[in-house]
Amino acid sequence: MKMDNSNCVFCRIIKGEIPSKKVLDSGNFIVIKDINPFTEGHSLVIPKKHYRTLLDIPSSLFGEYLEVTKKATLELIKETSSAGFNLLMSNFEVAQQEVPHAHLHIIPRKKADGKFKFIK
């Protein structure tokens, strides 16, 4: 479901009202660095239109979502000299979605960065 949400932090970032460190910008998605990163390079892939969860994003955009994610992940792995990565997406509050705007976390990983738990 597409919605306009003027109070949404990600919508405000996309409009340029809140500064961010852009990794990549495509037609329908933006990739920015997370302000509270789990690891060096931790970034978010965010639809430019307001969709609450993955279930609301039109299937016609999934190919672009995947391509943008892959391109950004390759750039982040190179930038951080990482050996791997995690992809994480929380949908709905019960699954620890803190911002009600769909977003996918790219978390570059190094052997020495330690383990962390996604779920508290």
DSSP annotation string for 46-87: EESSEESSGGGS-GGGHHHHHHHHHHHHHHHHHHHT-SEEEE
Band of pLDDT at residue 118, cut at 50, 70 and 90: low
Q: Could you tell me the pTM of the whole model?
A: 0.91
Question: Is residue 5 scored above 90 in pLDDT?
Answer: no
Report the pLDDT value the prediction gives residue 1, as an integer from 0 to 100.
42
Is residue 24 within 8 A of residue 63, CB to CB? The reply is: no
| Residue positions annotated with a catalytic role | 103
- Mean residue pLDDT of the chain comes to 92
Identity (one letter) of the amino acid at 53? T
Residues 20-47: tens digit of each pLDDT? 999 999 999 999 999 999 999 999 999 9
Query: Residue 21 belongs to what H/E stretch?
Result: none
